Amino acid sequence: MNVLVTGCSKGIGRFTTETLLRKGYTVIATMRAVKGIKAVEELNIFATQTKGKLIILPLDVTNQLSIDVAVQNTLQLVGKIDVVINNAGVGGTGWTETFTMSQIERMFDVNVFGIQRMMKAVLPHMRQKKQGTIINISSIQGRVVFPYSGIYTATKFALEGLTESYHYELKSLGIDVLLVEAGGFSTSFEKTQTKPNDIERIATYGNLKDLPEKVWGKKGEDKDFLPSPKILANALAQLIETPKEKRKLRTVIDPLLDGLGTLEINATAEKSQQELSKKLQWDIEHLP
């Protein structure tokens, strides 16, 4: 089975690549740059010790041409793409008002528009084959809200709606489009989240300006309480191996908070969606 993963230079993408290689998959690990990148060398060495096959390709989710070239190269090398894991993403914490518009646009460009670009690139191939699985990495913050993370939360709420629409539209065509709602894990993502750049506006918050750090910690701060990302990587492998008829639209992987709030919202939303679909007489094949 061939699995294309975005954002593999570090974090969840890196751990997922390693997990799938151990299981013997062919993994097309993509990242923005590959020349002179230490992660590339390390992954190549790792792959020689596994049953799997590794292909590393450059892919920038903010650039449609870059995506199209990577997908075309993948198809030339391995013939088909069975699974895509849209993992690449960026975060940001701070007073929501104090993020600049360029920062906001960048976050949406990666977290939402980047996935739409990927969908446009891979879906013609999957529709032709009448099969495929696409897993979009969302967050519990696509369902529940934490303060001082408003822009990131907005991107994940948007991703939830985008993915669910695809799920209904493509299910009868043999293509599974799924969401994995991840909680917090111990990765570089937590340490490198963007801080707002509107310094003058931050200053107007006075004594409250540093309050977001009390919730999210300082940039680069170690958070030893966060669980290992291997848990999420293993869950992704398990989801790929789960028969299609047993998969659900949403899978919550949140060992830190046990899906508190997220699971309840998902259950209510699923019930409401089914009732709405029945009322509007939608094709039952398009339901999760």
All structural domains of the chain, each given as residue ranges with its CATH number in brackets, are 2-286 (3.40.50.720)
Task: Name the active-site residue from 9, 66, 149, 186.
Answer: 9
Query: In the prediction, which pLDDT does 97 show?
Result: 97
Which positions ≥6 away from 219 have C-beta within 8 Å?
A: 191, 192, 193, 195
Query: For the chain, how are helix, strand and coil distributed in percent, rounded to 5?
Result: 50, 15, 35
Query: In the prediction, which pLDDT does 59 show?
Result: 98
Task: Name the active-site residue from 25, 66, 138, 139.
Answer: 138
Task: Name the active-site residue from 25, 148, 152, 166.
Answer: 152
Length of the chain: 288
83 with 2: CB under 8 angstroms? yes
Query: In the prediction, which pLDDT does 285 show?
Result: 56
Query: In the prediction, which pLDDT does 190 show?
Result: 67
List, for the chain, all residue ranges whose pLDDT scores fall below the cut of 50: 288
Is 156 annotated in the active site?
yes
219 with 194: CB under 8 angstroms? no
Query: In the prediction, which pLDDT does 188 show?
Result: 73
Is 195 annotated in the active site?
no
116 with 162: CB under 8 angstroms? yes
Distances (CA, A) of 153 to 107, 138, 232, 253: 10, 10, 20, 17
Is pTM, for the whole model, over 0.75?
Answer: yes
CA-based nearest residue to 84, from 24, 17, 133: 133
CA-based nearest residue to 63, from 31, 37, 91: 31
Task: Write out the two tokens for 134.
Answer: 């696409």
Query: In the prediction, which pLDDT does 43 show?
Result: 97
Query: In the prediction, which pLDDT does 284 show?
Result: 54
Query: In the prediction, which pLDDT does 196 show?
Result: 96
Helix-then-strand count for the chain, H and E: 11, 7
Is 172 annotated in the active site?
no
Q: Distance between CA atoms of 159 and 187, rounded to whole angstroms?
A: 21
Is 152 annotated in the active site?
yes
Query: In the prediction, which pLDDT does 189 show?
Result: 76
Q: Distance between CA atoms of 62 and 112, rounded to whole angstroms?
A: 10
Q: What is the H or E stretch that residue 233 is in? A: helix 230-241
Query: In the prediction, which pLDDT does 191 show?
Result: 66
Strands 26-31 and 2-5: parallel
CA-based nearest residue to 216, from 89, 91, 93: 93
Task: Name the active-site residue from 156, 166, 171, 186.
Answer: 156
